[in-house]
Amino acid sequence: MRHSPLLRRIAAWSTAVAFSLFSTTAALANAPEGPGDATLRQALDAARAQQWEKIDMAEINGHPLAGYIEYHRLRERLPNLAPEAVLDFIERHADSPLAEWLRGQAIARYGAAGRHRQLRRVADGEPQGTHRQCYYYTALLDTAPETAAKGGRALWRVGRSQPDACDPLFDALRERGEIGEQEIWERQMLAWQQGEAGMVRYLGRLLGSRWQAARDTLARLQQDFAAITAVPRCIGPDCRGSDALFAAAMHGFTRADTEAALEAWRKIATHLDLAPTVHDAIERDLAFYLLVRDIDAHTAWRDEVVARLAEPELLELRVRTALAERDWQGVIDWVHRMPDEPRREARWQYWLGRALEQLGDPTTAREAYAAAASERNFFGFAAADRLGQPYALNQEPNAVTDADRERVAAWPAVQRTEALLRIDEPGLAASEWYAAVARAEPQDARALADYAARRGWHAKLVQTTIAGQLWDALEWRFPEAYREHFLRWGRETQVDPYLLMGVARRESAYNPEALSPAGARGLMQLMPGTARLVGQRLGLGDPGPYGVLDPALNIRLGSTYLSNLLERYRGNRLAAAAAYNAGPGRVDRWLRDAPESFDLFVESIPFRETRDYVQAVLTYRVIFESLANGDDSEAVSLLTAAEKNVRYDGSLLARH
């Protein structure tokens, strides 16, 4: 929405969150080189290149990062390094991620070399990573065979290929009979579910003649799911393959043609002797797809399954179906069927209030709204608006004593973080910092957050509040970051600057180097094509993959793009936020089929990611504006009057 008066009211504000690298530029700008840093930097480069003759340990002893050189030296000596040397390093560096890194390297190198005794010596329970887990359980085959068999079967029971490191473990367990033909069949069915045709064929070749009829049945169903009504009910020796086959076949059939799958299932279900968990999983799948695909037939069967299984996700979908149908009594009934924890969430208490209001019970509706309004989120704020009361920010002060500050600043992990930033190793610095936060007691976590705030590490600060569960420390969770850029480009594009902050907070948590799996980049997570198009329209040309990471340019391009979306949707921030996440084409379609009120529009968004995104962005902008206004925060509103009252349908589109 265009809110130029907001620009004049900004005093201060806050936000961020990212589990990726720090802002290298910001971190290094505040970190002058310390004593021995240049020598350590050269030594680290040499260690990575295994050029040990270039390293004089006497020159770096005493430096906070000397352990990184030792780590590389020990790692290169594996697997010929004695486990006692590994354990000694782990003990001396227990407060650093280096300890577990070397343990993991030792497990991998010892395992690949077949040095099982050494591996057992350094292992500390099941390691992370599939290939290391396979090495670990292989090493336990002779000393702890039951543990090895249990772990190995869990690694086997997946529908995809596992690393080559698992082959010796699987071969040994097959030889010992711990993985037999039934386990092979079950894995083959999992592979079929996941579309791994090559693995299906490979596993089929491992089955003996007793499974020939089962293989024939599988081949028939691979050609035609509908044949499930005509295949034998007993699959495999002693019917031990029935559960896996019918689960896999119904899995594929339900996704391919839900109505036909249900009709087939209702014909055969009573004739099958399946485990209750398998039976319920099949019916759960059927009910789920009946709901998400809006299939109106079989509603009585669907509702019986939803009620019987009482699974939160199914119940949520059922409530949304009732909302789409304006079945207000149904909303109440299905919300009341939810388990206590989800039912008490602001979202469902809000919808209880709305339903009760629609059915003429304003007193009970206010009770539901009051329960929702105690929470700091979209529906909590919407409930507060219904009650005409201020938003519950539930903010706590960021109190840290000078003594806490001095103590945390002296922590070796903090000193290593600073040193790594000074030598331009932001990734390692992030690892050190997050490891320190993970180990910290609550008050120490607060002191670490305070340290990050004072150093201007915005992205790291937010992650610290998450790891430390400092949920109500709003000035840390929403810190000042890139303030002048949001103000300038909010003013230039006439976009609510708090909305820009909310978008950036949700998109990247203020990590200017953020890169999504889809390729979106920077603070406002612009896709390359969008950045190029907007840049060209502004006469700036294509910023390229690295130019778009510049915070000022990224905010300028993102602000302009958001301004275009606001124009498309007549200034409506809910629709524009949805389009920023899911694309305007989808939002155009949703609006043409949408409910009429703002809350029903948000709840009806079919993509959970976008539904959550819109709520988060609008919630964050309320928090930003509230922090900026301070004592004046009661004037903050989740939505404008127009956004609350407009019809959310095709009429919201500025262009048709």
Look at residue 647 and tell me if it is in a domain. yes
In the predicted structure, residue 8 carries a pLDDT above the cut 90? no
Whose tokens are 């390229």? That residue is 544
Is 507 among the residues known to form the active site?
yes
Averaged pLDDT, 576-580: 97
Look at residue 121 and tell me if it is in a domain. yes
Q: Which of 121, 139, 157 is the last residue of a domain?
A: 139
Tens digit of each residue's pLDDT (9 = 90 or more) over 61-101: 999 999 999 999 999 999 999 999 999 999 999 999 999 99
CA 157 from chain centre, in angstroms, equals: 25
- Binned at pLDDT 50, 70 and 90, residue 284 comes out as very high
Cross-strand partners of 515: 521
Identify whether residues 579 and 548 lie together within a single domain.
yes
Cβ count near 201 (within 10 Å)? 11
Helices (H) and strands (E) in the chain, counts: 40, 0
Look at residue 58 and tell me if it is in a domain. yes
Mean pLDDT of the chain: 92
**323, exposed or middle or buried, with CB in 10 Å at 0-12, 13-18, 19+?**
buried
CA distance 132 to 125: 11
CA 180 from chain centre, in angstroms, equals: 36
pLDDT recorded at residue 18: 31
Identify whether residues 127 and 250 lie together within a single domain.
no
Q: Looking at residue 13, what DSSP letter applies? A: -
Identify whether residues 484 and 631 lie together within a single domain.
yes
Identify whether residues 245 and 103 lie together within a single domain.
no
CB proximity list for 507: less than 8 A, separation 6 or greater = 514, 520, 523, 524, 525
Look at residue 450 and tell me if it is in a domain. no
Structure tokens at 406: 């001095």
pTM: 0.89
Look at residue 27 and tell me if it is in a domain. no
Q: Which of 309, 324, 354 is the last residue of a domain?
A: 309
Identify whether residues 94 and 209 lie together within a single domain.
no
What percent of the chain shows pLDDT beyond 90?
A: 90
Identify whether residues 12 and 73 lie together within a single domain.
no
CA distance 562 to 577: 8
- Length reported for the chain: 656
Q: Please give the residue range of the domain that contains residue 57.
A: 37-139
Identify whether residues 488 and 613 lie together within a single domain.
yes
In the predicted structure, residue 19 carries a pLDDT above the cut 90? no
**Total structural domains within the chain:** 3
Identify whether residues 582 and 635 lie together within a single domain.
yes
The alpha-carbon radius of gyration of the chain (Å, integer) is: 29
Q: Which of 294, 309, 324 is the last residue of a domain?
A: 309
Q: Which of 375, 432, 475, 507 is catalytic?
A: 507
Averaged pLDDT, 182-199: 97
In the predicted structure, residue 322 carries a pLDDT above the cut 70? yes
Identify whether residues 509 and 592 lie together within a single domain.
yes
- Nearest one of 124, 57, 66, 120 to 92, comparing CA atoms: 66
Identify whether residues 105 and 212 lie together within a single domain.
no
CATH number, domain of 523, equals 1.10.530.10
CA 190 from chain centre, in angstroms, equals: 25
Whose tokens are 């529906």? That residue is 379
Tens digit of each residue's pLDDT (9 = 90 or more) over 465-497: 999 999 999 999 998 899 899 999 999 999 999
Averaged pLDDT, 91-113: 98
Identify whether residues 569 and 647 lie together within a single domain.
yes
DSSP 393-452: ---------HHHHHHHHT-HHHHHHHHHHHTT-HHHHHHHHHHHHHH--HHHHHHHHHHH
Look at residue 303 and tell me if it is in a domain. yes
In the predicted structure, residue 22 carries a pLDDT above the cut 70? no
Out of 27-31, 261-265, 294-298, 336-340, least confident range: 27-31
Cβ count near 377 (within 10 Å)? 20
Averaged pLDDT, 300-314: 97
Look at residue 575 and tell me if it is in a domain. yes
What percent of the chain shows pLDDT beyond 70?
A: 94
Identify whether residues 10 and 57 lie together within a single domain.
no
Look at residue 166 and tell me if it is in a domain. no
